[in-house]
Structure 1
Amino acid sequence: MNPSRRLLADVLRRRRRPALIGCLSSTVHQTCEALVPVAVGLVVARAVATGSTSAIAWSVAGVLALFAVLTAAGAYAFWTIDGAQLREAHHLRVAVLSAVLHRPPAAPVLRDGDVLSVATSDTRHSAQVIALLGYLVSASVGTVVSAVVLLRVDVLLGAGLLVAVPLLVLGLQRLAPRLERRVRTRQEAAGLAAATAADLLAGLRPLRGFGGVPEAVLRYRTASRTSRDAAVGAAGATAAVVGAGSLATGLLLVGTAAAATALAVRGRIGVGELVTVVGAAAFLADPVRTITSCVQGLAVARAGAGRVAALLADGAAPHPTADAAVRTSPAVAGTPAGAAVPLTLRGVSAGPLRELTLSAAPGEMLGVVTTDVALADALVGVLSGQRAREAGEVRLGELDPAVDPAGATGHLLVEPHAVHLLGGSLREALSTGAPDGTASGGRAPASLERALVASAAQEVVRARPAGLDEVLLERGANLSGGQQQRLALARALAADRPVLVLRDPTTALDAVTEDAVAAGLRALRHGQGSPAGRTTVVLTTSPLLLARCDRVALLTATGCRTGTHAELLGEDAYATAVLR
């Protein structure tokens, strides 16, 4: 089974109960709709033609009851199927996000636009298989009921429909692969255009600086034109399927009505049966259109499922959340989650980082200094498991974080320089997911209070009228860069990992605040009363932070030298990097 079909099968298995209930309800709805022409024909033949008042009254009551069942079943089918579809789309979006967050370092790089397209459009199309199959089955049953009714009226007429409708569906299926290819191309082109636009906006300031805006706009115009052409091609394929279905439906309706009229003229069927035949033929237009639409939709669903399946295949299996891993992940080489472990790098090479050997013992605060941004990026990428190593090994105790990121989560946290505050309030932005992380209402729990004090972020919270419940704008737009940096540091400290790696945590702070943060970080992680065995690695050029480190490593393109801050000040390269 190919990946797209396997994913769609998984969707149906997960939602089998609501899918089955919705399908049955929709089938009842379609069956009742198919019986409406029969009911009207009976009314004409046995009530209107005879003029019996009681027969007319009973006929009206029966038709009303039929419509009541029809309406209730249709509404319940829509409610059940739509709910299952929305829940499944949410499940797939979460799975896509998990796969993206846990992609192995060696996996191909994804562009933001591609991820956005898969996570929104393709997951929605994949989840629609629940509705498409339900409505396809019910429409088919409705068609069969109509055919049976017509068989009872006239065998040749019913047999003709039983042959014509399957041929119609099979003919439309022949168009589905072409439509699927066009839709896949459209989605990929749309993802490329979105990715190009995202890159353009992210780099707008430097583009303006060196005059690259015209070239960037030209590239986006090319990507957008490709996306437009793909969308036009997909629309043409869709129109071909819809047009073929509408034409076939019209021919089927006209042919059935003409045949029934001829039979009535010859006296082979009565007036009531003629009404039934014409009504059934008119009704057949609806299930045939539904079948056509479902065939088209299934092609779109397969195309979307293929893209979702490809992304999920590149990502790792679903992982627990960070703090769930603290509580449930297996021990690191026999060490309970949360216990102290050494961090060791042996002969690590990755990009500009060449044969680095470095270690941080439990309880040590280690500073790392480099003026080469590429070296710092490579080191942080290797430690976080987001960059593949060319050689060497990284060990957290006996565990390799890149091989088993879920197992390492309970012991290691790498806090990047870029600040990302997520959530609608400060309380949500500071949440670490721990049981006492940011309890709702009142004061923050003790662990967060200590982290806020250590990072000097308590002043940020106190300055807000609503405190921790202050509304946070998108990306913390109502906070200054320094305030965002302090809150991000507070969140990292509140997580309380045995090994904490920080990348330039104080670059947006003034000297006085930076000194307070340096003192608070040292006191919280390594001072009297702090948990035993906590290790902190700080990549920085701040002398205020480096002066409080037990040991400092000077990292250059030619090697690594370690010593204390005072000892390394005698080296020109170190002094140039840290003295300002």
Structure 2
Amino acid sequence: MLTPGAVIADVYRRQRLRTVLATLGMVGHQTCEALVPVAFGLVIDRAVRTGDGGAMWLSAVGIMLLFTALTFSARGGHWMATQAILEESHRLRLEMITRILGRRPRPGNRQTGEQLSIATSDALATTEIIEVVGWMVGATIGLGWTAFFLFRIDWVLCLGILIGVPLLMLGLSRLGPRLERRTAHQQQTVGLAAGMAADLLAGMRPLRGFGGVPEATRRYKAASRRSRDAHVSAITATAQFAGATSFSIGILLAVVGGVVGLMALDGQLTIGELVTVVGLAMFVSDPVNTISHLIPELAASRASAARVAELLSLEGDVPEHESTNGRPTLALEDVHAPGIAGLSLTLGDGEVVGVVPSGAAAAGSLTALIDGTGAAEAGSVRVSGRLLVEPHAVHLFGATLREALLVGDGADDEVLNEALSAVALNDLAGAHPDLEHPLTDHGLNLSGGQRQRIAMARALLADAPILVLRDPTTAVDAVTESRMAEGIRRYRARPGRLTVVITTSPPLLASCDRVVLLGPEGRCVTSTHAGLVADPAYAELVLR
């Protein structure tokens, strides 16, 4: 099991150069900040009090260079940190998505929306630890310089800083675990609410159909309230932390100011030293505030890293596809699964094979076995070549017909027209030049048959070596179905391509090279459509 510390360590290891440069920039910024009151004190004592014109010009140039270095070191450090954060968060997102896609769906898995939340916001929050720790190191160095300069002026003041500030930080750090717990709970509830929202939006049409919208609304309101309460709790803890920090800094400044005032009245400090000490006393609040405000950010990063580590620890259980030098094959050997008993079948290059399942269980089992989301109870499944399984449920993306079709690198007009002709979609395409027909959400302004044909054309344009289709013509009329059967075969029956059609459609089965019957008892019979028509079990499933 991957730990949050291991995730963070990997982030630092891969971004070590940028992290070092970013931290150096932040250290430089805090060092320059600490030098500002020292520089003004020196200017007062060596230029203003003496009235030396040359020293005045030299002081002006020095102050200008100091502020230039202060500005550029901060900007450079932030730039380097931002580059590292964006690159690493992107890498974490890709790695998490790979783990999610490489794992079969299970009842205990996180919701899709929650996984999306982790792969986006939590990935970013985890990598932001680079900048958080960089500024904390810079602030600590700034405190060190403050102690050093004060020691040069008076060791009592230095001792007060060296004792007071660590005690202050120790007390504030005790609040860190409480903040981390509340932040982790807040992130968890936000992810759950996002997951529920994604699921409800995806199923809005059936919810409206059976009247489930009120119950769905009630459940989402409850999840949203829990998320709100957790967020308020986390914000309250952060506000309490900030209040305690401000109060502590105020006490520290009051003590330092009182001591400095007494020393100035006693003549132990020059005017320049007085300005330096007061300036350093005021500057102390900046690094202390920085560290105190970054402790909650550090807690949030660690909490996010824990959620990221959980996803990265997922072991992939979807089998990899073997390579066969561009020749796709699909082999099932004595496979047993729900609705399937002892299926042995080898499909080769250039074939179009139909499979007639005895029911939904057999169809679902076969689809899951091929795409790797399901495992066989016995036997083996070997897939060689890139695979595309076009599901029966249609999901269209894009604002126009062209966008819905070209979801990859695109295709030229000749290939596009060939795919549209294969699925009998010329009428819709011809009515809208350049395929600019507007689509509403998921293409709901189209008929069911049109959506199904667009999804089929999209699958053909993907040009995968192995294409698995499940009931691709259930929403079209008989004439269109026959045209699609001929078109699919014409488009796919060529070397380097293998097509599996899981269906009970006679036109589709008649266009296949072979047909496999998965009988009610799990028995498997292989022949052609014409050869199986005489089989009563086949006729009952297919003929209508």
Measure the CA separation in 2 of the matches of 1:73 and 1:375: 65
Describe the SS at the equivalent of 1:30: helix
Aligned to 1:287: 287
Task: Tell me what 1:505 maps to.
Answer: 472
CA 1:183–1:445 in 2, change beyond 3 Å: closer, same or farther?
Answer: farther
Structure 2 counterpart SS, 1:392:
strand
Change (3 A) 1:317 1:44: farther
Say if 1:417 and 1:505, in contact at 8 Å, map to a contact too. yes
1:110 has 2:93 as partner: no
Q: What is the Cα deviation at residue 428 of structure 1?
A: 6.6
What is the Cα-based RMSD across aligned positions, in Å? 3.2
In structure 2, distance between residues paired with 1:567 and 1:244:
84
How has the CA–CA distance of structure 1 residues 20 and 474 changed in structure 2, closer, same or farther, with 3 Å as cutoff? farther
Q: Which residue pairs with 1:353 in the alignment?
A: 339
Letter in 2 for 1:564: T
Aligned partners of 2:83, 2:314: CA distance in 1, in Å? 29
Deviations 1:420-462 (A, max 9, x none): 45568767755686xxx636xxx3576x665454334566555
Looking at structure 1, the residues matched to 104 and 202 of structure 2 have their Cα atoms a distance apart, in angstroms, of 25
Q: Per the alignment, do residues 6 and 386 of structure 1 end up closer, same or farther by CA in structure 2, a change over 3 Å counting?
A: same
User: C-alpha deviations, 1:242-286, integer Å up to 9, x for none?
Assistant: 222222222222222222112212222122111111111111111
Q: Percent same amino acid at aligned positions?
A: 48
Aligned-partner Cα distance in 2 for 1:121–1:200: 21
- The answer for the alignment partner of 1:29 in structure 2 is 29
1:465 aligns with 2:433: yes
Residues of 1 paired with 2:104 and 2:304: CA distance?
A: 23
Aligned to 1:559: 522
What's the counterpart of residue 359 of structure 2?
372
Q: How does 1:339-488 map to 2 (within 5 A)?
A: 339-349=327-337, 352-362=338-348, 363-370=350-357, 372-396=359-383, 408=384, 410-421=385-396, 438=410, 443-444=412-413, 450-456=418-424, 463-467=431-435, 475=442, 481-488=448-455
Distance (Å, rounded) in 2 between the aligned partners of 1:24 and 1:474: 49
1:192 & 1:174 partners in 2: Cα distance? 29
Supply the AA of the counterpart residue of 2:475.
A
| Aligned-partner SS, 1:387 | coil
Number of aligned residues: 542
Per-residue deviation, 1:491: 4.0
Give the Cα–Cα distance (whole angstroms) in 1 for the partners of residues 199 and 396 of structure 2.
Answer: 21
Deviation, structure 1 residue 383: 1.3
Cα deviation code 1:4-49 (max 9, x no counterpart): 1111111112222222211111211111111111112122223333
Distance 1:75 1:191, change over 3 A: same
Partner of 1:311: 311
Cα separation, partners in 2 of 1:318 and 1:359, compared to 1, 3 Å:
closer
Determine the C-alpha separation between the residues in 2 that align with 1:424 and 1:16: 43
Deviation larger for 156-165 or 212-221:
212-221
Question: Which amino acid is the alignment partner of residue 438 of structure 1?
Answer: G
Instruction: Using the TM superposition, name which of 107-116 and 566-575 deviates more.
Output: 566-575
Amino acid in structure 2 at the alignment position of 1:392: G
Aligned to 2:9: 9
Q: How far apart, CA to CA, are the structure 2 residues paired with 1:471 and 1:254? A: 68
Alignment of 1:11-160 (within 5 A): 11-104=11-104, 108-160=108-160
> Greater CA deviation, 200-209 or 35-44?
200-209
Q: Equivalent residue for 2:300?
A: 300
| Residues 1:43 and 1:195: Cα distance change in structure 2 (over 3 Å) | same
CA spacing shift, 1:369–1:280, aligned 2, 3 Å = same
Tell me, in whole angstroms, the C-alpha distance in 2 between the residues paired with 1:56 and 1:4. Answer: 54
Shift of 1:385: 0.6
Gaps of 5+ in 2: none
The Cα shift of 1:307 comes to 0.5
Q: Name the SS of the counterpart of 2:199 in structure 1.
A: helix
- Provide the TM-score with structure 1 as the length reference: 0.84
